[in-house]
Chains A and B, each alone.
Chain A
């Protein structure tokens, strides 16, 4: 049994949208029943991913989705942009690596704090980050 509830879409066009994205994510995380520690981890991961959109692609979209998958409940986050894309994903996922606009902790850090993390990107094709956090 796989049930998907309504998506919550947040346009990321301006740095102020980063705050909106993490506030909405926290609201949804509370509704799903995440602990306050996990709410903060989710909000932080979204902040990093949304900031990457602003820094590297200028604009994009974050989709938040409540997921009920059998006995598992959780939160799915999809961040999508049509920016320049990432040529070397392995390098981009390395701790401390940055092309100069950040500390280089955003992507590897977000991966560490989420349960599932998938990065799809190629030059000229934009970037999609898909992350899941399951309720413990």
Chain B
């Protein structure tokens, strides 16, 4: 099942559902890169709250999505990593180096809001 992407202002919100398949993640990467251009998006939030496991493939693909988005001019925040999932990632040696994370959707939006405001300030 493809990951639904919502557009909220100039932020894209992708809410990953449980039992995510590899191809859905790869599709998400393409969709995010394309929609950033179409909607002139400045921020991307990837909500992984529903995921009970983040394995090496998922971790690598999330990093790719964030780096691709950055090259397209948008900041990405991964939100909602559950405590057990975070613990298991650390034990296995998986990291999301260079990718911003936030506790939940609200914190993620606040993080992106701060970045956008900074940009506005810089423009003046």
Chain A positions within 8 Å of B, measured between CB atoms, are 15-16, 18-19, 22-23, 26, 36-37, 39-41, 43-45, 47-48, 51, 95, 102-103, 105-106, 108-110, 112-113
Tell me how far the C-beta of B114 lies from the nearest C-beta in chain A, rounded to whole angstroms. Answer: 31
Chain B positions within 8 Å of A, measured between CB atoms, are 19-23, 52-57, 59-60, 84-85, 87-89, 91-94
A113 vs B52: C-alpha distance when bound (angstroms): 16
Q: Give the interface SS of chain B, mostly helix, strand, loop or mixed.
A: helix
Residues of chain B lying within 8 A (CB to CB) of residue A26: 52
Residues of chain A lying within 8 A (CB to CB) of residue B92: 41, 44-45, 48, 105, 109-110, 112-113
- Of A95, A106, A108, A110, chain B has the most CB atoms within 10 Å of the CB of A106
Residues of chain B lying within 8 A (CB to CB) of residue A106: 56
Q: How many A-B residue pairs have CB under 8 A?
A: 71
A23 vs B38: C-alpha distance when bound (angstroms): 37
A102 vs B55: C-alpha distance when bound (angstroms): 11
Residues of chain A lying within 8 A (CB to CB) of residue B21: 15-16, 19
Residues of chain A lying within 8 A (CB to CB) of residue B88: 37, 40-41, 43-44, 113
Contact at B93–A40, with CB atoms within 8 Å? no
A selection of 18 A-B contacts at a CB cut-off of 8 Å is A15-B23, A16-B21, A18-B22, A19-B21, A36-B84, A37-B87, A40-B85, A41-B87, A41-B91, A43-B52, A43-B88, A44-B53, A102-B56, A102-B57, A103-B56, A109-B93, A112-B92, A113-B91
